[in-house]
Amino acid sequence: MTRFAIDAAVALRLVRGSATLAAGHQLVGVAALRSEAMAILYGELRSGAVGAREARDLLDGVAGLRVRLLGDRVSRATAWRIASERGWDDVRRAELLAVAILQADALVTEDESLAADADGVVPLGTVGDLAR
């Protein structure tokens, strides 16, 4: 079993069926994952990339995704430390790194900037790794 930390974009890929999760793997994410997915879907709706019904169905799919969402005191403190050490203006990126460091075997993200920030801090996985 592998525990993967995922971001909202990867959660949406899983719900859309363009990525699969092999039996035995577990998912973890930040407490705000569902809100972040909603923001992505709302942006897609506003741009015309998806219809209202599809966006709502996908959001329901994210709500039903078996992912442990974390935002406990240790995760927040770790995110604060990461952001402070790196001089970041925002802690949101650090939250997923903190969850990955504390609770996952690997981080899966398609955000190249986040992956670069995570390199050397936490093992990186790919969407394909979720299916193996």
- The domains found in the chain, sorted by start residue, are 3-131 (3.40.50.1010)
Predicted confidence at residue 120, as pLDDT, reads 87
C-alpha closest to that of 122 among 132, 130, 114, 111: 114
Q: How far apart are CA 84 and CA 19, in angstroms?
A: 34
Residues 6+ apart with CB under 8 A from 103: 3, 5, 28, 68, 70, 75
Predicted confidence at residue 1, as pLDDT, reads 86
| Strands annotated E in the chain | 3-6, 26-30, 68-70, 106-108, 124-125
Neighbour count for residue 114 (Cβ, 10 Å): 18
Place of tokens 């959001």: 59
| 98 contacts 114 by C-beta, under 8 angstroms | no
pTM: 0.95
Q: What letter would DSSP give residue 109?
A: -
Which amino acid would we find at residue 51? Answer: G
Residues of the chain with pLDDT under 50: none
